[in-house]
Chain A
Amino acid sequence: MIEANVHSVMTVNGEARDVLAPATATLLDVLRDSLCLTGTKRGCNHGVCGACTVLLDGRTARSCLTLAADVGERPVTTIEGIAGDADFSPIQRTLIATGAIQCGFCTPGFVMALTDLFARDPHPDRAAIRMALSGNLCRCSGYVKIVEAAERLAGAVDD
């Protein structure tokens, strides 16, 4: 059955975007397929892997578990909008400097999870970092470097 498209207006990375998508479309579908924001990755598509993590109203959300039609007035931030006008955010720069990126597929999700964490707590300890990252899978198993990067940023480890 072909689903009829529904029109909505969504605020993504600070811009109002017109969206035409079926009511069954997820935020992930719309970001990647309608808005061509392909930095947000489709991994498992049922909420387990964290590759599709975005910020919804400032909190981490699985874009694959968020219906686009239900986003409404809540602003969405994706990896493309995380650094504002700069090339990279401090979190991204630290991940690069620490060698915390391998294949890179999971990286946008990890960046979003860390962005939410550091917005709430600029100096998280290792337990808080591990908790914040507990919903993000890295198939390269590069967790040690990712946690090290977050600790470096938190000032928990000296350079």
Chain B
Amino acid sequence: MEYIAPRTLDEAYRALEADEARCLAGGQSLVAMMNLGLVAPSRLVSLRRIDALRGIAVQPDGGVRIGAMTTHAEIASLASSAAGPALLAKAARVVAYPAVRAWGTIGGSVAHADPSADYPVALVAADAMIEIGSTSGTRLVAAQDFFRGFFETALARAEIVTAVHVPAGPEGAGAAYAKLSLVVGDFAIVSVAAIASGKAQLAVGGYGPKPIRLTGVDVADSALLAAGQALAAATDPPGDHRASAAYRRRVVPELIRRAARAASTGPPA
């Protein structure tokens, strides 16, 4: 395997044209998969030295552009009263453990697209856009379309996730992230990201190959539980070592209720 650490995006795009070349961001998933023998890249293109991929830019309307190499710890410390960025910060606070949050990046997590990870569900709920760069320029893809399936995304060969754009969200709305896991720091059995004022926009993670989006749900307990029960009846969630499909169906209505109710109490004072 060859290791390259370019300083510019253009160099990185060109380096990624080789067969079996992969980006190395924080390494918190990729190196684990290499150690387990699940992937064996021919070339790793480290994004660590590319300054253009770092930093959080707050937009005038309260939305944020988060560079791909921004760590979970940096996003966790984001203080925003806007619902979208606040939702991302809440999700970042429960990604794995401090050592992983110190080095893992949002771009790496997004490109990896683990359906039980915390960012994909939060990004879909927040109507975020994924910024993708290549030698042909930059394109924006809605998070809902970016995540295509089990570890599958809209990324093409030699493209890099360069940033995520998170809109502010409805004025006066709050955000909440409800995550059910076996132990603190594990991936979710099921998680629900919610933005709500009068109505809730939600996404459900850990419940299928990609986040499931629900919009325009009334925030009354009965309506939220009914939406969750309708989802459970209409879907075929996975059963795995964390929980059975039946268990996921059983817990999803209550997680939807908790996330949306918590979000509907409004932004932090």
Contact = CB atoms under 8 A, between A and B. Distances in A.
Q: How large is the interface on B (under 10, 10 to 19, 20 to 34, 35 or more residues)?
A: 20 to 34
Given A66-B27, A70-B24, A72-B48, A53 B5 contact: no
A69 interface: yes
A46 interface: yes
A70 B99 contact: no
Contacts of B46: 67, 69-70
Which of A22, A24, A56, A132 counts the most chain B CB atoms within 10 A?
A24
Interface in B1-18: 1-3, 5
A19 interface: no
Given A26-B35, A62-B28, A65-B32, A47 B100 contact: yes
B132 to A, nearest CB: 23
A131 interface: yes
A22 B3 CA distance: 10
Contact of A46 (B1, B36, B44): B36
Interface string A42-78: 0001110010010010011110111101101000000
Contacts of A24: 1, 34
Interface residues of A, number: 30
Interface of B is mostly: mixed
Which of B46, B49, B99, B103 counts the most chain A CB atoms within 10 A?
B99
A6 B1 CA distance: 10
A60 B102 CA distance: 7
A34 interface: no
B96 interface: yes
A23 B46 CA distance: 12
B109 to A, nearest CB: 13
Given A50-B99, A72-B48, A134-B98, A65 B28 contact: yes
A67 B35 CA distance: 10
A147 B177 CA distance: 28
Contacts of B151: none
Contacts of A136: 97
Contacts of B24: 67, 70
Interface in B32-89: 32, 34-36, 44, 46, 48-49
Nearest to B97: A135
Contacts of A158: none
20 contacts: A24-B34, A45-B35, A46-B35, A47-B28, A47-B32, A56-B103, A59-B99, A59-B103, A62-B100, A65-B27, A65-B32, A65-B103, A67-B46, A70-B3, A70-B24, A70-B27, A70-B46, A72-B5, A116-B98, A134-B98
Interface of A: 3, 6, 22-24, 26, 45-47, 50, 53, 56, 59-62, 64-67, 69-70, 72, 113, 116, 131-132, 134-136
Given A50-B99, A67-B24, 5 more contacts: A24-B1, A65-B31, A67-B44, A113-B98, A135-B97
